[in-house]
Amino acid sequence: MRYLFFMPFILLAACNNHSSNQIAVSNNQYLLKKGDSIATLAQKILLQKVSNAIELGGTDYAISFCNENALKLTDTLASINNVKLSRVTDRNRNSNNALKTTTDTVAWNKMKIKQASVIETNNNGEVYFYKPIVMAMPTCLKCHGKETEITKSTLQLISEKYPKDKALHYNAGELRGMWKIKM
């Protein structure tokens, strides 16, 4: 009889737990959708600008363009969307794009296994969205491929502008990095 008294409370707690799980799933889906739309736009704009730079002055000009403008572009998009936006990788060209946190490393390890977007929360409760950046276009290999695919002048410019560059020797379809968005 005593157990019957507690049964409604147990059922209520079970329903609340189910409800909070639904909220968590719904929130996660919202963050994935929002993060994906921001990262997709950032990728589109960056690729468009780099393609335009290549058309205007070749890969040498594109290297200079990226060096001077890539961070400005991502900062502008971040400001418009009220998020913190960056690109991170284990083989960075710009030291600002290196994996820096445990959360980045956890997301990177997941990304290497399954190239799909993920949501990660760090120890401070901050939520991050990560989306893979894949070497999808042959043009990308003109600056990130094997040394035989990159002109000598472009290689020289890369070494001048990025003396600690690690972003070479990629193959088409390979994971290059991740968009990182602090939500």
Tell me 146's DSSP state.
Answer: -
In the block, residue with structure tokens 């043009």: 139
**What is the pLDDT, as a whole number, of residue 87?**
97
Residue 51: what residue type? S
Banded model confidence at residue 10, pLDDT cuts 50, 70, 90 = very low
**What is the pLDDT, as a whole number, of residue 137?**
87
pLDDT tens, 61-95? Answer: 999 999 999 999 999 999 999 999 999 999 999 99
Helix (H) or strand (E) holding 129: strand 127-134
Mean pLDDT of the 41-46 span: 95
What are the CA-CA distances from residue 3 to residues 10, 14, 17 (Å)?
10, 16, 20
Mean pLDDT of the 141-145 span: 95
Please tell me the total count of domains within the chain. 1
Cβ within 8 Å of residue 122, ≥6 positions away = 101, 102, 103, 128
3-state secondary structure of 29: helix
Indicate the average pLDDT of the chain: 88
**What is the pLDDT, as a whole number, of residue 25?**
58
139 pLDDT more than 50: yes
In the block, residue with structure tokens 């929360």: 121
18 pLDDT more than 80: no
3-state secondary structure of 133: strand
Instruction: Assess contact for 176 and 111: CB atoms under 8 A.
Output: no
**What is the pLDDT, as a whole number, of residue 26?**
72
Structural domain for 65, as ranges: 2-182
Percentage of the chain surpassing pLDDT 90? 82
Higher pLDDT, 145 or 25: 145
Mean pLDDT of the 154-175 span: 96
Query: Could you give the CA distance from residue 36 to residue 22 in angstroms, rounded to a whole number?
Result: 21
Query: Could you give the CA distance from residue 165 to residue 68 in angstroms, rounded to a whole number?
Result: 16
Tokens (6 digits) for 160: 């001048």
**What is the pLDDT, as a whole number, of residue 24?**
59
Residue 19: what residue type? S
Q: Record the pTM.
A: 0.83
Banded model confidence at residue 23, pLDDT cuts 50, 70, 90 = low
